[in-house]
Amino acid sequence: MSSATGAKRATELSFKFKENGLLINSFLVGFEDVSLYQQGGHHPVHIGDCLGEQEEYRVIHKLGSGGYGIVWLCRVLGRHSTEYVAVKILAASDSGQYNVERRIDGLPDEKVLDILGHPRKAPIIVREGFRAPGAHAPDYAVYQIQIDRATEEKCRLVSERICVIDFGESYEQSRVPTGGYGIPMPYSAPVLVLDGQYRPASDIWALAVAMFYIRTGRELFFSLSSEPDSFLTEVVRYLGPFPSPGGLGKPKGNIRRRAG
């Protein structure tokens, strides 16, 4: 799942919680949504923490985050050979579990961090008028690894085998869900945003946007706002005005005026 701030799932999940007053003290973008650091949300993790029933996974960096959880790069302890895994910790409202997703080449921790970059930490602060979160939030947020800034050494850490994973939101075309499609806003086809109706062509749009991200390392339609109008404005800015409303659905807000 994309880590963009406009991810639909993250937005839906944040609506379940009260404002906790937490902010990240950093000019960087792309951190997890710290409003989810409360009971039922994200599990607080610090660099150096040990995860798992036997505390066999030591956290050394963050790989990414999304609406369902946060993925951490961990060293497997107690092995003769050096091994690393990606551990995904789901938000408590979804599971509260962790999943070991895949392994990467084993190197000493310092060598891995020299290649991928050492963790950049940003303090989490509490706005005036709010209580300190206590054990529900970490002391800082970690900026995720920037794999897209590829070097020859980084590329050696990535397997040449391509795997399609995470089918948690998949469904048969004949059984389209009615409670949302689980597609992050930046990957949603405009027609899906405008009228909420799934069409097979929506998958083609999402695939094209995903391919752009894979090749360039950046979102094609990036917006700091999670509002549909903001996303649709970005689409218009890149691709031009929409076809007639009858072909896409009824526009929301003032997007039609801006598109023209």
Cα 137 to Cα 111: distance, rounded to the nearest angstrom: 29
Cα 73 to Cα 107: distance, rounded to the nearest angstrom: 13
120-126/98-104 β-pairing: unpaired
Please check if 8 is assigned to a binding site. Answer: no
The one-letter amino acid code at 97 reads Q
Neighbours of 156 (CB within 10 A): 11
Contact 188, 8 (CB under 8 A): yes
Residues paired with residue 233 on neighbouring β-strands, in sequence order:
none
Known binding-site positions: 88
Binding-site residues from annotation for ATP: 88
